[in-house]
Amino acid sequence: MPEYKQVEIQRDIFVFQSLIGCRVGDLYRMTKQNVINNAIEYIPRKTKDGNPVTVRVPLNDKAKAILEKYQDHEGNKLLPFISEQKYNDAIKKLLNWQR
């Protein structure tokens, strides 16, 4: 069922986001070029203007597996993102299923 597939994708993105500990906005700006030597490198938006510092987060096996699962999705974005609002809605739906 397509609805469940979409929730599965968003669950994977949520788990990935949790594993690397970034804000949604920063995650959505990431591209495949942010993966460097088994780590994610990015400049958090919140510090970009004041004191830009590149953050390097090593990827564990679960994070690598998620990236591998979606490596063939279209475009240059890191993962198959939908709008941030729909992402939030999908996560709420997923958490309600867990009750």
pTM flag (> 0.85): yes
pLDDT at 47: 65
pLDDT at 22: 95
Q: Helix crossing, 2-20 with 84-97: angle to 10°?
A: 100
Q: Which residues pair with 55 in a beta bridge?
A: 42
pLDDT at 80: 96
pLDDT at 46: 72
Low-confidence ranges of the chain (pLDDT < 50): none
Query: H or E stretch including 55?
Result: strand 55-58
Instruction: Please tell me the distance from the alpha carbon of residue 74 to that of residue 44, in angstroms, as a whole number.
Output: 25
